[in-house]
Chain A
Amino acid sequence: MAPSTSSTVTLDINGEKHTLSVDHRTTLLDALRERLDLTGTKKGCDQGQCGACTVLVDGRRTVSCLQLAVAAEGREITTVEGVAEGGRLHPVQQAFLDLDGFQCGYCTPGQICSAVAVIEEHAAGWPSAVTDDVRPEAGPPPLTPEEIRERMSGNLCRCGAYAPIAEAVARAAAQARAGAGEAVA
Protein backbone atom coordinates (compact mmCIF):
# COMPACT_ATOMS: atom_id res chain seq x y z
CA MET A 1 0.00 0.00 0.00
CA ALA A 2 1.36 3.42 -0.94
CA PRO A 3 1.80 5.83 1.97
CA SER A 4 -1.16 8.12 2.53
CA THR A 5 -1.49 11.09 4.86
CA SER A 6 -5.28 11.04 5.13
CA SER A 7 -8.02 8.44 5.56
CA THR A 8 -11.78 8.16 5.38
CA VAL A 9 -13.01 7.14 8.80
CA THR A 10 -16.37 6.41 10.38
CA LEU A 11 -16.62 7.71 13.93
CA ASP A 12 -19.34 6.50 16.30
CA ILE A 13 -20.25 9.56 18.36
CA ASN A 14 -23.13 9.64 20.82
CA GLY A 15 -24.67 6.68 19.01
CA GLU A 16 -24.48 8.27 15.55
CA LYS A 17 -22.12 7.28 12.78
CA HIS A 18 -20.20 10.08 11.04
CA THR A 19 -18.09 9.35 7.96
CA LEU A 20 -15.45 11.92 7.09
CA SER A 21 -12.05 12.24 5.48
CA VAL A 22 -9.37 13.24 7.98
CA ASP A 23 -5.76 14.28 7.69
CA HIS A 24 -3.96 11.81 9.97
CA ARG A 25 -2.71 14.71 12.09
CA THR A 26 -6.29 15.55 13.15
CA THR A 27 -7.01 14.89 16.80
CA LEU A 28 -10.38 13.60 17.92
CA LEU A 29 -10.83 16.97 19.65
CA ASP A 30 -10.38 18.92 16.42
CA ALA A 31 -12.57 16.49 14.47
CA LEU A 32 -15.38 16.94 17.01
CA ARG A 33 -15.16 20.72 17.12
CA GLU A 34 -14.07 21.77 13.65
CA ARG A 35 -15.56 19.06 11.46
CA LEU A 36 -18.66 17.80 13.26
CA ASP A 37 -19.77 21.00 15.02
CA LEU A 38 -19.80 19.25 18.40
CA THR A 39 -18.32 22.22 20.25
CA GLY A 40 -19.30 21.11 23.76
CA THR A 41 -15.88 19.48 24.10
CA LYS A 42 -13.41 22.28 24.86
CA LYS A 43 -9.80 22.87 23.87
CA GLY A 44 -7.73 24.10 26.81
CA CYS A 45 -4.02 23.26 26.77
CA ASP A 46 -4.08 20.82 23.81
CA GLN A 47 -1.28 18.93 25.62
CA GLY A 48 -3.15 16.51 27.87
CA GLN A 49 -2.59 18.63 30.95
CA CYS A 50 -5.94 20.31 31.69
CA GLY A 51 -8.76 17.84 31.02
CA ALA A 52 -11.07 20.35 29.27
CA CYS A 53 -11.31 18.02 26.25
CA THR A 54 -12.33 14.93 28.25
CA VAL A 55 -14.70 12.56 26.43
CA LEU A 56 -15.62 8.90 26.97
CA VAL A 57 -14.12 6.35 24.58
CA ASP A 58 -15.61 2.87 24.96
CA GLY A 59 -17.02 4.14 28.26
CA ARG A 60 -13.66 5.32 29.61
CA ARG A 61 -12.66 8.94 30.09
CA THR A 62 -9.81 10.07 27.87
CA VAL A 63 -8.36 13.37 26.69
CA SER A 64 -9.44 13.88 23.08
CA CYS A 65 -6.51 16.24 22.37
CA LEU A 66 -4.02 13.35 22.45
CA GLN A 67 -6.32 10.91 20.63
CA LEU A 68 -5.84 10.83 16.87
CA ALA A 69 -9.20 10.79 15.07
CA VAL A 70 -8.02 8.08 12.66
CA ALA A 71 -7.17 5.84 15.62
CA ALA A 72 -10.64 6.34 17.14
CA GLU A 73 -12.45 4.50 14.34
CA GLY A 74 -14.44 1.55 15.63
CA ARG A 75 -14.66 2.89 19.16
CA GLU A 76 -17.76 4.28 20.91
CA ILE A 77 -17.28 7.96 21.66
CA THR A 78 -19.50 9.88 24.07
CA THR A 79 -19.16 13.65 24.39
CA VAL A 80 -20.87 16.00 26.82
CA GLU A 81 -23.64 16.34 24.20
CA GLY A 82 -24.36 12.63 24.66
CA VAL A 83 -24.38 12.04 28.41
CA ALA A 84 -28.00 13.13 29.03
CA GLU A 85 -30.54 10.32 28.92
CA GLY A 86 -33.44 11.02 26.54
CA GLY A 87 -33.86 14.73 27.23
CA ARG A 88 -33.27 14.28 30.94
CA LEU A 89 -30.01 15.66 32.28
CA HIS A 90 -27.48 13.16 33.59
CA PRO A 91 -27.42 13.25 37.42
CA VAL A 92 -23.89 14.69 37.23
CA GLN A 93 -25.12 17.55 35.01
CA GLN A 94 -28.05 18.20 37.35
CA ALA A 95 -25.77 18.22 40.40
CA PHE A 96 -23.39 20.72 38.72
CA LEU A 97 -26.37 23.00 38.04
CA ASP A 98 -27.91 22.62 41.49
CA LEU A 99 -24.63 23.21 43.35
CA ASP A 100 -23.08 25.81 41.01
CA GLY A 101 -20.19 23.54 40.08
CA PHE A 102 -18.64 26.15 37.80
CA GLN A 103 -17.98 29.82 37.26
CA CYS A 104 -17.02 30.60 33.65
CA GLY A 105 -18.06 27.12 32.51
CA TYR A 106 -15.19 26.45 30.11
CA CYS A 107 -13.85 23.39 31.95
CA THR A 108 -17.35 22.14 32.80
CA PRO A 109 -17.95 19.72 29.88
CA GLY A 110 -14.66 18.01 30.68
CA GLN A 111 -15.42 18.01 34.40
CA ILE A 112 -18.83 16.43 33.73
CA CYS A 113 -17.51 13.70 31.42
CA SER A 114 -14.74 12.98 33.89
CA ALA A 115 -17.15 12.83 36.85
CA VAL A 116 -19.48 10.44 35.02
CA ALA A 117 -16.52 8.06 34.63
CA VAL A 118 -15.16 8.65 38.16
CA ILE A 119 -18.45 7.44 39.62
CA GLU A 120 -18.35 4.31 37.45
CA GLU A 121 -14.66 3.63 38.21
CA HIS A 122 -15.34 3.90 41.92
CA ALA A 123 -18.40 1.66 41.67
CA ALA A 124 -16.19 -0.91 39.91
CA GLY A 125 -13.89 -0.92 42.97
CA TRP A 126 -10.88 0.86 41.45
CA PRO A 127 -8.49 2.25 44.08
CA SER A 128 -6.80 5.65 43.72
CA ALA A 129 -3.51 7.23 44.73
CA VAL A 130 -5.00 8.27 48.09
CA THR A 131 -6.46 4.84 48.84
CA ASP A 132 -4.51 3.68 51.89
CA ASP A 133 -4.78 -0.07 51.24
CA VAL A 134 -5.07 -1.02 47.56
CA ARG A 135 -5.35 -4.77 48.21
CA PRO A 136 -8.70 -6.14 46.99
CA GLU A 137 -9.31 -7.68 50.43
CA ALA A 138 -9.48 -4.14 51.85
CA GLY A 139 -12.64 -3.54 49.82
CA PRO A 140 -13.54 -0.43 47.82
CA PRO A 141 -12.55 2.83 49.53
CA PRO A 142 -15.40 5.15 50.59
CA LEU A 143 -15.76 8.02 48.12
CA THR A 144 -14.53 10.69 50.55
CA PRO A 145 -13.88 14.30 49.48
CA GLU A 146 -10.17 13.40 49.40
CA GLU A 147 -10.86 10.47 47.04
CA ILE A 148 -13.03 12.67 44.80
CA ARG A 149 -10.37 15.37 44.59
CA GLU A 150 -7.65 12.87 43.71
CA ARG A 151 -9.80 11.14 41.10
CA MET A 152 -10.84 14.48 39.54
CA SER A 153 -7.29 15.90 39.57
CA GLY A 154 -6.96 15.54 35.79
CA ASN A 155 -9.49 18.35 35.32
CA LEU A 156 -8.20 21.83 36.09
CA CYS A 157 -10.52 24.76 36.80
CA ARG A 158 -8.85 28.14 36.42
CA CYS A 159 -11.77 29.82 38.23
CA GLY A 160 -11.05 27.60 41.22
CA ALA A 161 -14.59 26.26 41.57
CA TYR A 162 -13.25 23.05 43.05
CA ALA A 163 -15.31 23.09 46.23
CA PRO A 164 -18.74 22.97 44.51
CA ILE A 165 -17.36 20.65 41.80
CA ALA A 166 -16.32 18.12 44.46
CA GLU A 167 -19.73 18.50 46.16
CA ALA A 168 -21.54 17.93 42.86
CA VAL A 169 -19.57 14.75 42.19
CA ALA A 170 -20.31 13.51 45.72
CA ARG A 171 -24.03 14.19 45.31
CA ALA A 172 -24.28 12.48 41.92
CA ALA A 173 -22.31 9.49 43.24
CA ALA A 174 -24.63 9.19 46.24
CA GLN A 175 -27.64 9.29 43.90
CA ALA A 176 -26.08 6.60 41.69
CA ARG A 177 -25.50 4.39 44.75
CA ALA A 178 -29.07 4.94 45.95
CA GLY A 179 -30.36 4.10 42.47
CA ALA A 180 -28.29 0.92 42.36
CA GLY A 181 -29.55 0.00 45.84
CA GLU A 182 -33.18 0.47 44.77
CA ALA A 183 -32.62 -1.66 41.69
CA VAL A 184 -31.27 -4.46 43.87
CA ALA A 185 -34.11 -4.11 46.41
Chain B
Amino acid sequence: MREFDYRRADDVPGAVALLGADPDARYLGGGTNLVDLMKTGVERPARLVDVRGLPLDRIEPADDGGLRIGATVTNSDLAAHPEVRRRYPALAQAVLAGASGQLRNMATVGGNLLQRTRCGYFADVTQPCNKRAPGSGCPAVAGEHRNHAVLGASDHCVAVHPSDMGVALTAFDAVVSYETADGPGRLPLDGFYLPVGDTPHLETALPPGALVTGVTLPPAPAAARSRYRKVRERASYAFAIGSVAAALDVRDGVVREARLAFGAVASRPWRARAAERVLTGAPATAEYFAAAADAELAAARPLPDNGYKVTLMRNLVVAVLSGLAEEAAR
Protein backbone atom coordinates (compact mmCIF):
# COMPACT_ATOMS: atom_id res chain seq x y z
CA MET B 1 0.00 0.00 0.00
CA ARG B 2 1.19 3.47 -0.84
CA GLU B 3 1.91 5.72 2.16
CA PHE B 4 -0.67 8.43 2.76
CA ASP B 5 -1.49 11.52 4.75
CA TYR B 6 -4.57 11.29 6.99
CA ARG B 7 -6.80 14.15 8.07
CA ARG B 8 -10.02 14.22 10.02
CA ALA B 9 -12.68 16.69 8.93
CA ASP B 10 -14.87 18.38 11.55
CA ASP B 11 -17.43 19.94 9.23
CA VAL B 12 -18.53 19.74 5.60
CA PRO B 13 -16.75 22.88 4.31
CA GLY B 14 -13.63 21.74 6.16
CA ALA B 15 -13.78 18.33 4.48
CA VAL B 16 -14.17 19.84 1.02
CA ALA B 17 -11.26 22.24 1.70
CA LEU B 18 -9.03 19.42 3.01
CA LEU B 19 -9.60 17.38 -0.14
CA GLY B 20 -9.17 20.38 -2.41
CA ALA B 21 -9.11 19.46 -6.08
CA ASP B 22 -6.36 16.91 -5.43
CA PRO B 23 -6.98 13.92 -7.72
CA ASP B 24 -4.75 11.88 -5.38
CA ALA B 25 -6.98 12.46 -2.33
CA ARG B 26 -10.02 10.45 -1.27
CA TYR B 27 -12.79 10.85 1.28
CA LEU B 28 -12.80 7.99 3.79
CA GLY B 29 -16.21 6.85 5.08
CA GLY B 30 -16.59 3.36 6.51
CA GLY B 31 -13.63 2.19 4.45
CA THR B 32 -15.13 -1.20 3.66
CA ASN B 33 -14.45 -0.77 -0.05
CA LEU B 34 -11.73 1.90 -0.18
CA VAL B 35 -9.37 0.29 2.35
CA ASP B 36 -9.76 -3.05 0.59
CA LEU B 37 -8.94 -1.44 -2.77
CA MET B 38 -5.92 0.30 -1.22
CA LYS B 39 -4.60 -3.08 -0.03
CA THR B 40 -4.82 -4.49 -3.56
CA GLY B 41 -3.33 -1.37 -5.15
CA VAL B 42 -6.43 -0.49 -7.20
CA GLU B 43 -6.67 2.74 -5.19
CA ARG B 44 -3.42 4.56 -4.34
CA PRO B 45 -4.44 7.80 -2.61
CA ALA B 46 -1.77 10.13 -1.19
CA ARG B 47 -4.22 11.65 1.29
CA LEU B 48 -7.35 10.45 3.07
CA VAL B 49 -9.88 12.89 4.45
CA ASP B 50 -11.87 11.06 7.11
CA VAL B 51 -15.51 12.18 6.91
CA ARG B 52 -16.93 9.59 9.27
CA GLY B 53 -17.21 12.10 12.11
CA LEU B 54 -19.14 14.72 10.12
CA PRO B 55 -22.61 15.65 11.43
CA LEU B 56 -24.30 13.85 8.51
CA ASP B 57 -25.48 10.84 10.49
CA ARG B 58 -29.17 11.70 10.83
CA ILE B 59 -32.32 10.47 9.14
CA GLU B 60 -34.87 13.28 9.22
CA PRO B 61 -38.20 14.21 7.67
CA ALA B 62 -37.73 16.32 4.53
CA ASP B 63 -39.79 19.47 3.92
CA ASP B 64 -41.87 17.78 1.21
CA GLY B 65 -42.82 14.89 3.50
CA GLY B 66 -40.03 12.60 2.29
CA LEU B 67 -36.95 11.46 4.18
CA ARG B 68 -33.50 13.00 4.22
CA ILE B 69 -30.73 10.48 4.90
CA GLY B 70 -27.30 11.81 5.83
CA ALA B 71 -24.28 10.50 3.93
CA THR B 72 -22.57 9.05 7.00
CA VAL B 73 -25.63 7.12 8.22
CA THR B 74 -24.48 3.52 8.42
CA ASN B 75 -26.22 0.79 6.45
CA SER B 76 -27.26 -0.75 9.80
CA ASP B 77 -28.91 2.43 11.05
CA LEU B 78 -30.66 2.95 7.74
CA ALA B 79 -32.12 -0.56 7.71
CA ALA B 80 -33.16 -0.34 11.38
CA HIS B 81 -34.90 3.03 11.08
CA PRO B 82 -38.66 2.73 11.75
CA GLU B 83 -39.68 5.26 9.06
CA VAL B 84 -37.55 3.54 6.42
CA ARG B 85 -39.01 0.15 7.35
CA ARG B 86 -42.58 1.51 7.40
CA ARG B 87 -42.58 3.76 4.33
CA TYR B 88 -39.87 2.26 2.09
CA PRO B 89 -39.63 -1.41 3.19
CA ALA B 90 -37.80 -2.44 0.00
CA LEU B 91 -34.99 -0.06 0.95
CA ALA B 92 -34.57 -1.70 4.37
CA GLN B 93 -34.70 -5.14 2.70
CA ALA B 94 -32.12 -4.13 0.08
CA VAL B 95 -29.69 -2.88 2.70
CA LEU B 96 -30.16 -6.00 4.82
CA ALA B 97 -29.51 -8.18 1.76
CA GLY B 98 -26.05 -6.63 1.33
CA ALA B 99 -22.76 -7.70 2.90
CA SER B 100 -22.67 -8.84 6.56
CA GLY B 101 -23.69 -7.39 9.91
CA GLN B 102 -20.11 -6.27 10.53
CA LEU B 103 -19.80 -4.49 7.18
CA ARG B 104 -23.24 -2.87 7.46
CA ASN B 105 -22.14 -1.37 10.79
CA MET B 106 -19.15 0.27 9.10
CA ALA B 107 -20.42 1.12 5.62
CA THR B 108 -22.12 4.44 4.95
CA VAL B 109 -24.84 5.60 2.56
CA GLY B 110 -22.49 7.94 0.68
CA GLY B 111 -19.86 5.24 0.33
CA ASN B 112 -22.41 2.69 -0.83
CA LEU B 113 -23.32 4.82 -3.84
CA LEU B 114 -19.66 5.40 -4.69
CA GLN B 115 -18.43 1.83 -4.19
CA ARG B 116 -16.61 0.27 -7.12
CA THR B 117 -17.46 -2.77 -9.19
CA ARG B 118 -16.39 -6.22 -7.97
CA CYS B 119 -15.35 -7.27 -11.50
CA GLY B 120 -12.36 -9.57 -11.03
CA TYR B 121 -10.34 -7.84 -13.77
CA PHE B 122 -10.90 -4.42 -12.16
CA ALA B 123 -9.70 -5.82 -8.82
CA ASP B 124 -6.54 -7.40 -10.27
CA VAL B 125 -3.92 -4.77 -11.07
CA THR B 126 -1.95 -7.25 -13.21
CA GLN B 127 -4.87 -7.34 -15.71
CA PRO B 128 -5.97 -4.78 -18.29
CA CYS B 129 -9.13 -2.87 -17.34
CA ASN B 130 -10.59 0.20 -19.05
CA LYS B 131 -12.23 1.32 -15.82
CA ARG B 132 -9.01 1.18 -13.77
CA ALA B 133 -6.48 1.92 -16.54
CA PRO B 134 -8.31 3.72 -19.39
CA GLY B 135 -7.43 2.38 -22.84
CA SER B 136 -5.89 -0.87 -21.58
CA GLY B 137 -8.78 -3.06 -22.75
CA CYS B 138 -11.53 -5.18 -21.25
CA PRO B 139 -10.66 -8.87 -20.81
CA ALA B 140 -14.15 -9.61 -19.46
CA VAL B 141 -15.85 -9.31 -22.87
CA ALA B 142 -14.02 -12.42 -24.12
CA GLY B 143 -13.21 -13.79 -20.67
CA GLU B 144 -14.92 -14.36 -17.33
CA HIS B 145 -18.23 -12.49 -17.56
CA ARG B 146 -20.77 -14.83 -16.03
CA ASN B 147 -21.83 -12.11 -13.59
CA HIS B 148 -21.43 -9.11 -15.88
CA ALA B 149 -23.86 -6.66 -17.43
CA VAL B 150 -26.64 -7.44 -19.90
CA LEU B 151 -28.06 -3.90 -20.04
CA GLY B 152 -26.39 -0.59 -20.92
CA ALA B 153 -22.85 -1.96 -21.26
CA SER B 154 -20.38 -1.33 -24.08
CA ASP B 155 -17.40 -3.07 -25.69
CA HIS B 156 -15.24 -0.99 -23.35
CA CYS B 157 -16.67 -2.29 -20.07
CA VAL B 158 -19.27 -4.83 -19.02
CA ALA B 159 -18.87 -4.51 -15.24
CA VAL B 160 -21.90 -4.26 -12.94
CA HIS B 161 -22.56 -1.91 -10.05
CA PRO B 162 -22.71 -4.06 -6.91
CA SER B 163 -25.03 -1.98 -4.69
CA ASP B 164 -28.29 -3.37 -3.32
CA MET B 165 -29.20 -0.13 -1.53
CA GLY B 166 -28.86 1.86 -4.73
CA VAL B 167 -31.40 -0.31 -6.53
CA ALA B 168 -34.15 0.52 -4.03
CA LEU B 169 -33.09 4.19 -3.91
CA THR B 170 -33.32 4.36 -7.70
CA ALA B 171 -36.82 2.85 -7.70
CA PHE B 172 -37.92 5.50 -5.19
CA ASP B 173 -36.52 8.50 -7.14
CA ALA B 174 -33.82 9.36 -4.59
CA VAL B 175 -31.87 12.59 -5.07
CA VAL B 176 -28.20 12.84 -4.07
CA SER B 177 -26.99 16.04 -2.36
CA TYR B 178 -23.36 17.08 -2.51
CA GLU B 179 -21.10 19.93 -1.50
CA THR B 180 -18.23 21.49 -3.44
CA ALA B 181 -15.93 24.49 -2.87
CA ASP B 182 -18.31 26.40 -5.18
CA GLY B 183 -21.41 25.48 -3.19
CA PRO B 184 -23.93 22.67 -2.93
CA GLY B 185 -25.61 20.68 -5.70
CA ARG B 186 -28.18 17.92 -6.26
CA LEU B 187 -28.40 15.05 -8.71
CA PRO B 188 -31.29 12.63 -9.17
CA LEU B 189 -29.88 9.14 -8.63
CA ASP B 190 -31.22 8.14 -12.04
CA GLY B 191 -28.77 10.63 -13.61
CA PHE B 192 -26.03 10.25 -10.99
CA TYR B 193 -24.22 7.44 -12.81
CA LEU B 194 -22.84 8.18 -16.28
CA PRO B 195 -23.48 5.94 -19.29
CA VAL B 196 -20.55 3.55 -19.87
CA GLY B 197 -19.80 4.43 -23.50
CA ASP B 198 -16.08 4.61 -24.14
CA THR B 199 -15.37 6.22 -20.74
CA PRO B 200 -16.04 3.53 -18.14
CA HIS B 201 -13.52 5.21 -15.81
CA LEU B 202 -15.90 8.17 -15.46
CA GLU B 203 -18.56 6.75 -13.17
CA THR B 204 -20.61 9.62 -11.77
CA ALA B 205 -21.74 13.13 -12.67
CA LEU B 206 -20.30 14.51 -9.40
CA PRO B 207 -17.98 17.50 -9.93
CA PRO B 208 -14.31 16.92 -8.98
CA GLY B 209 -13.76 17.09 -5.23
CA ALA B 210 -17.50 16.91 -4.43
CA LEU B 211 -18.51 15.39 -1.10
CA VAL B 212 -21.80 13.47 -1.05
CA THR B 213 -23.71 14.88 1.94
CA GLY B 214 -26.93 12.92 1.77
CA VAL B 215 -29.77 11.31 -0.13
CA THR B 216 -33.35 12.56 -0.14
CA LEU B 217 -36.31 10.24 -0.73
CA PRO B 218 -39.43 12.02 -2.00
CA PRO B 219 -42.74 10.92 -0.49
CA ALA B 220 -43.85 7.77 -2.32
CA PRO B 221 -47.09 6.24 -1.02
CA ALA B 222 -46.68 3.31 -3.44
CA ALA B 223 -43.38 2.43 -1.71
CA ALA B 224 -45.27 1.29 1.40
CA ARG B 225 -46.02 -1.91 -0.54
CA SER B 226 -42.59 -2.70 -1.89
CA ARG B 227 -40.18 -5.57 -1.99
CA TYR B 228 -36.50 -6.19 -2.71
CA ARG B 229 -35.54 -9.65 -3.85
CA LYS B 230 -31.97 -10.68 -4.47
CA VAL B 231 -30.67 -13.81 -6.18
CA ARG B 232 -27.15 -14.92 -5.34
CA GLU B 233 -24.99 -18.00 -5.49
CA ARG B 234 -25.21 -18.70 -1.76
CA ALA B 235 -27.93 -17.99 0.77
CA SER B 236 -26.26 -15.00 2.41
CA TYR B 237 -23.26 -12.67 2.34
CA ALA B 238 -22.70 -12.59 -1.42
CA PHE B 239 -23.20 -10.08 -4.19
CA ALA B 240 -26.28 -10.38 -6.38
CA ILE B 241 -26.35 -12.10 -9.74
CA GLY B 242 -29.67 -10.34 -10.21
CA SER B 243 -32.03 -8.35 -8.01
CA VAL B 244 -35.28 -6.44 -8.22
CA ALA B 245 -36.72 -3.58 -6.19
CA ALA B 246 -40.42 -3.16 -6.86
CA ALA B 247 -43.38 -1.22 -5.56
CA LEU B 248 -46.93 -1.77 -6.73
CA ASP B 249 -50.12 0.18 -6.16
CA VAL B 250 -53.04 -1.98 -7.28
CA ARG B 251 -56.72 -0.97 -7.12
CA ASP B 252 -59.52 -3.25 -8.31
CA GLY B 253 -57.05 -5.51 -10.01
CA VAL B 254 -55.47 -2.70 -12.05
CA VAL B 255 -51.96 -1.30 -11.57
CA ARG B 256 -52.19 2.40 -10.72
CA GLU B 257 -48.50 2.91 -10.10
CA ALA B 258 -45.44 0.68 -10.43
CA ARG B 259 -41.81 1.24 -9.48
CA LEU B 260 -39.21 -1.16 -10.76
CA ALA B 261 -35.42 -1.20 -10.66
CA PHE B 262 -32.87 -3.95 -11.38
CA GLY B 263 -29.55 -4.69 -9.69
CA ALA B 264 -26.44 -6.57 -10.88
CA VAL B 265 -27.36 -6.28 -14.56
CA ALA B 266 -25.77 -2.93 -15.51
CA SER B 267 -23.03 -0.46 -14.62
CA ARG B 268 -25.57 1.31 -12.43
CA PRO B 269 -28.77 0.50 -10.56
CA TRP B 270 -31.15 0.13 -13.50
CA ARG B 271 -34.50 1.91 -13.42
CA ALA B 272 -36.88 -0.18 -15.53
CA ARG B 273 -38.98 2.61 -17.02
CA ALA B 274 -40.05 0.66 -20.12
CA ALA B 275 -41.49 -1.99 -17.82
CA GLU B 276 -43.18 0.63 -15.65
CA ARG B 277 -44.90 2.08 -18.73
CA VAL B 278 -46.34 -1.33 -19.62
CA LEU B 279 -47.50 -1.90 -16.05
CA THR B 280 -49.26 1.40 -15.48
CA GLY B 281 -52.97 0.90 -16.12
CA ALA B 282 -52.53 -2.80 -16.94
CA PRO B 283 -54.29 -5.69 -15.20
CA ALA B 284 -52.20 -6.93 -12.25
CA THR B 285 -51.65 -10.41 -13.66
CA ALA B 286 -48.60 -12.57 -14.31
CA GLU B 287 -49.17 -12.22 -18.07
CA TYR B 288 -48.74 -8.45 -17.93
CA PHE B 289 -45.89 -8.68 -15.44
CA ALA B 290 -44.05 -10.89 -17.95
CA ALA B 291 -44.86 -8.47 -20.77
CA ALA B 292 -43.42 -5.63 -18.68
CA ALA B 293 -40.23 -7.57 -18.02
CA ASP B 294 -39.93 -8.39 -21.73
CA ALA B 295 -40.35 -4.72 -22.65
CA GLU B 296 -37.40 -3.81 -20.43
CA LEU B 297 -35.24 -6.77 -21.34
CA ALA B 298 -35.72 -6.27 -25.09
CA ALA B 299 -32.67 -3.99 -24.84
CA ALA B 300 -30.56 -6.73 -23.20
CA ARG B 301 -27.33 -7.63 -25.01
CA PRO B 302 -26.05 -10.70 -23.19
CA LEU B 303 -22.54 -12.09 -23.65
CA PRO B 304 -21.91 -15.80 -24.36
CA ASP B 305 -21.91 -16.76 -20.67
CA ASN B 306 -24.43 -14.45 -19.02
CA GLY B 307 -27.58 -14.93 -21.07
CA TYR B 308 -29.10 -16.70 -18.06
CA LYS B 309 -29.51 -13.26 -16.48
CA VAL B 310 -32.19 -12.29 -18.99
CA THR B 311 -34.29 -15.32 -18.05
CA LEU B 312 -33.50 -14.83 -14.37
CA MET B 313 -34.61 -11.21 -14.38
CA ARG B 314 -37.82 -12.02 -16.27
CA ASN B 315 -38.73 -14.70 -13.73
CA LEU B 316 -37.72 -12.46 -10.83
CA VAL B 317 -39.90 -9.58 -12.03
CA VAL B 318 -42.92 -11.86 -12.43
CA ALA B 319 -42.36 -13.45 -9.01
CA VAL B 320 -41.87 -10.19 -7.11
CA LEU B 321 -44.76 -8.35 -8.78
CA SER B 322 -47.07 -11.35 -8.36
CA GLY B 323 -46.20 -11.43 -4.66
CA LEU B 324 -46.96 -7.74 -4.27
CA ALA B 325 -50.25 -8.08 -6.19
CA GLU B 326 -51.29 -10.99 -3.96
CA GLU B 327 -50.53 -8.90 -0.88
CA ALA B 328 -52.63 -6.06 -2.27
CA ALA B 329 -55.55 -8.42 -2.91
CA ARG B 330 -55.56 -9.68 0.69
Contact = CB atoms under 8 A, between A and B. Distances in A.
A68 B35 contact: yes
Given A62-B102, A126-B79, A135 B50 contact: no
Contacts of B236: 129, 149-150, 153
Interface residues of A, number: 46
A5 B4 contact: yes
Given A46-B39, A154-B101, A127 B76 contact: no
Interface stretch (A22-30, A95-103, A169-177): A22-30
Contacts, number: 118
A125 B76 CA distance: 12
A129 B80 CA distance: 12
A107 interface: no
A61 B80 contact: no
A150 B82 CA distance: 21
A114 B86 contact: no
Contacts of A128: 96
Nearest to B104: A154
B79 A127 contact: yes
Contacts of A134: 79, 85, 89, 92-93, 96
B36 A47 contact: yes
Contacts of A131: 96
Max count, chain A CB within 10 A of own CB: residue among B8, B39, B76, B101: B101
Contacts of A136: 82, 85-86
Contacts of A137: 86
B181 interface: no
A167 interface: no
B32 interface: yes
Nearest to A131: B96
Given A134-B85, A149-B236, A5 B3 contact: yes
B5 A114 contact: no
A7 interface: yes
Max count, chain B CB within 10 A of own CB: residue among A5, A137, A152: A5
Interface in B29-56: 31-32, 35-36, 38-39, 46-48, 50, 52
A161 interface: no
A76 to B, nearest CB: 14
B6 A153 contact: no
A25 B4 contact: yes
Contacts of B6: 4, 7, 24, 68, 70-71
Contacts of A154: 99-103, 237
A147 B118 CA distance: 27
Contacts of B106: 62-63, 66-67
Given A5-B5, A129-B97, 7 more contacts: A3-B46, A25-B3, A48-B102, A71-B28, A71-B52, A121-B76, A126-B76
20 contacts: A3-B46, A4-B6, A23-B3, A47-B39, A63-B106, A66-B36, A67-B106, A68-B28, A71-B8, A114-B102, A127-B85, A128-B96, A129-B93, A129-B96, A134-B92, A136-B86, A154-B101, A154-B102, A154-B237, A155-B100
